[in-house]
Structure 1
């Protein structure tokens, strides 16, 4: 969920002027300390690693208030705003949940078992094995009642092979892989620590985390939260501009680079800048002489299946779509950017009216990510008919008509509050198939795709719907929920659809999160209820979940997010009632 400003590389080219000698010496020392930490990590058996993750879990819980306070100041939020709930849920909550999941995985490995030895694996179209990842325990079954997620493995893998390969580097703890450089995201505060944990557990690499300058305020809370790793020399955290990132990426003591950011930044690191960059790319000779993995965002579609929706359905799903665009102010790599509607849907105009209403009534927040106003201005230039919403007019709705050229909208990750709408012909299966073909072919990026449709509509499509999911080339696909649910699910791999190359990187290479340490995954399918409780029950959906606390219109999000983080810090059934009471006040 993440990315840096696509127009401003966070890591400069190797031609950047040399760093000050004192800065270089400090960075060299950090790399040397991590090399010593690698030896320490190689000697640490799995039970000791589990205990260490337990200490980190405690220190993250203790630093949670400091963490969220720093995030609130970074994003210029009113401390009393409901938007503070986003910082709890996408910050300490997911990190605490992931630490618990990783301890569980390592516990299975310590017993000589596969992390999914006890999982009931399923099947998916095309000969795929599916692995359930949500709910992962009885707590999640109640907290996220009505939501589910499963990982689809690559076609042809057998259940036996999937179980046997789970565990990745944790199965061979003495075989470490050097010092990894993590170039941290500048938007969601859980991303850098989660990337560090994946380096450490999945790949046996100690980590040097270089913060995006936007996140410099997070240095203190991160240092407190991850003190157990820092004390053992398994983690170092540094700040600085692009020259620091460039120096470290090309440092001989760094064995691997992982970046969460934009494709433009990735390409500067890999190919350099100037005329030589194109030559190197064409020849397949990268300037970066070490492996690099990445999560780079993209243009995420929201495919809306036509059906006979009630007025309440139209209003709720309009808020759902607006949430996918405006969460975190619009600065998310998986922010839904383009709504794909059927031109033959009788309720198209009614839905767009609700969409405009939701854009207008969602509480305002000041733009906080660098370059946002510039990118909104670029969208206005490309689409002068764009409708403006919010007190400052900074939210755009670009309704593309037949005579308009949609190509810029489909190929530009705006990373700002710009929401587009396109129309495609057809109804039923014909519309869905056309939508899948269109987003696969024309949209930039393969990180996440969303589908919204009535349960009766999806049921009516039958196998055709599941086959459409199998044809969607995205790393996470959300059905009646947002792909952010996949991001928040510790056991779900997070990253682009597999198969990209350095030359055509799209949304990136490799995955993170993936607390079950599954090997060779293809995509995650997350599903949720079409309606919130109690309307869900009235219409035959078995889902007790109210309006989700991540909705931008959820009035009780701040309290719910804090309660969820407190629960993840020390899970207990006794904490459930307060969470539900707060959630139902959304």
Structure 2
């Protein structure tokens, strides 16, 4: 058994990795022989185990994030942890059940059309429960141009259309920020590509190992998954191992380039010449700098306060350590309410709950931002949150080209108003920002009505993997049926936000983007203003006072839906 390790003469060996890969080579045979019914049963067990061990999962995550266990912020760990795993396993099992019966996973899906000859697939809401728990929120997948409804239905299922055609061993390099990313990516490798999985945890997530072993036990038992820990040396050994057929990673573009081309001057030379050191395919989800475009309109004071909290959440959720955290707010310099909105944003940054900067390097990245922008404002407890405003156009570049991955938020002002501002803001998002993972648009319903069909044209022109209108793009992450990843077309030497997608529990072939939409106002103001949305302040808002209780109740409900569980859930949500 031989391996390659970049930039070393005598590679170090890791017997535990060799043993895991030998196990997976045998496990691939078991997986290939496993009929769809058995695979569905495995998913049902994973769903049940995720529910059974949800509290243990959240307790471990709370320790990783250094959260006060009594803080409402623990709600983030319920929703982005076991809740996401339960909903993904549930929907994947339903897709497998469709294939078992000879149907497409999209047999019951509602299709539509979008500009540019695109077909769309509705992925939220899909059930009565969705409509109740996330009232007013929707998501649809826009397929690549030219993909018809007939083709989409026929090709959905990916690797499960021929379960015996396995794809070897895939490595999944897990993320260090959101606890469900690693196990969800392992599921996608297995079910989308029929690859058994060597799942390597980010060292930050090592405390999650005991609970992930319990949740993924059905797959570990049959040899389809092995969970590994260790540092960069283990990861390097693993991805260059001769038994590995494919690599998937979540992280930064710098880590991606180190894996693909190597490090130091030699790595830079390889990248410049396009000579990859990695001798196997790699897919990735890498983040970037996400914009939030605020379209000018006539807002009430309540609208301004709510949307300021919304934008603050987009930055401060999980402490700012999200690949799709909004980093730059794009506003109209000519908007009469601009100063009022920015004042409310400052208040929201000040008032959001305190938290420990748990992610390594956060303080250094904050210091880098304040060094680049000496007039940056400091907000929140101990001044740990940075707001960059009043920039000259020539000073924007570091803000738009550096993913700070910390509580740093900037404001870019563009001239014009109305339609012209919308067009300029979209062009700026496409041309000046690094990364294509997600973009948010915030706009009053009257403004959206004035744009009419041009709104869809603007969405079409945004080259992002998820576009959210009056919602945060993280809703796309939370929606199990939505593909999650960068806009298609990136290459190894210009990877931006990555290559390929994950999640995608309907196993849709050739998705282009996800478009999520939400209500401009929470209930009851939404109802009073004739928006058909019953959702109060969403549980992912960092200012939601009952987020922990609501997140727990949503997770319990997802594990075993029942009408009897709804009253307590709604009561908690309304108090948020």
Q: Is residue 2:442 matched to residue 1:448?
A: no
Q: Deviations over 1:105-161 (max 9, x none)?
A: 001111111111122210001110000000011110111110000000011111111
8 Å contact from structure 2 (residues 488, 500) kept in 1: yes
Q: In the alignment, which of 6, 10, 15 is matched to residue 14 of structure 1? A: 6
Q: Is residue 2:87 matched to residue 1:97?
A: yes
| CA 492–403 in structure 1, closer or farther in 2 if over 3 Å, else same | closer
8 Å contact from structure 1 (residues 59, 225) kept in 2: yes
Q: In the alignment, which of 336, 339, 342 is matched to residue 329 of structure 2? A: 339
SS of residue matched to 1:422: strand
| CA 17–284 in structure 1, closer or farther in 2 if over 3 Å, else same | closer
8 Å contact from structure 1 (residues 85, 557) kept in 2: yes
| CA 403–257 in structure 1, closer or farther in 2 if over 3 Å, else same | closer
What is residue 3 of structure 1 aligned with on the other side?
none
Q: In the alignment, which of 339, 342, 360 is matched to residue 350 of structure 2? A: 360
Q: Deviations over 1:486-507 (max 9, x none)?
A: 0000000000000000010000
SS of residue matched to 1:450: strand
Taking the aligned partners of 2:574 and 2:489, their CA distance within structure 1 comes to 42
Taking the aligned partners of 1:274 and 1:380, their CA distance within structure 2 comes to 27
Taking the aligned partners of 1:227 and 1:412, their CA distance within structure 2 comes to 39
TM-score, normalised relative to structure 1: 0.96
Q: Deviations over 1:342-383 (max 9, x none)?
A: 011000000000000111111111111000000000000000
Q: Is residue 2:458 matched to residue 1:468?
A: yes
What is residue 508 of structure 2 aligned with on the other side?
518
What is residue 474 of structure 2 aligned with on the other side?
484
What is residue 112 of structure 2 aligned with on the other side?
122
What is residue 30 of structure 1 aligned with on the other side?
20
What is residue 251 of structure 2 aligned with on the other side?
261
| CA 403–510 in structure 1, closer or farther in 2 if over 3 Å, else same | closer
Shift of 1:283: 2.6
- Where in structure 2 are the equivalents of 1:147-162 lying within 5 Å? 147-162=137-152
SS of residue matched to 1:392: helix
Instruction: After superposing the two structures, state which structure 1 stretch, 449-458 or 56-65, moved more.
Output: 56-65
8 Å contact from structure 1 (residues 400, 406) kept in 2: no
TM-score, normalised relative to structure 2: 0.98
What is residue 179 of structure 1 aligned with on the other side?
169
Consecutive unaligned residues in structure 2, runs of 5 or more: none
8 Å contact from structure 2 (residues 5, 240) kept in 1: no
Q: Deviations over 1:247-273 (max 9, x none)?
A: 000001111000000000000000001
Shift of 1:19: 6.7
What is residue 542 of structure 2 aligned with on the other side?
552
8 Å contact from structure 1 (residues 13, 269) kept in 2: no
8 Å contact from structure 2 (residues 468, 517) kept in 1: yes
Instruction: Let me know the Cα RMSD of the aligned residues.
Output: 1.2
- Where in structure 2 are the equivalents of 1:410-429 lying within 5 Å? 410-429=400-419
Shift of 1:15: 2.9
Q: Deviations over 1:35-76 (max 9, x none)?
A: 111100000010111111111111111111111111111111
8 Å contact from structure 2 (residues 316, 542) kept in 1: yes
What is residue 84 of structure 1 aligned with on the other side?
74
Q: Is residue 2:490 matched to residue 1:505?
A: no
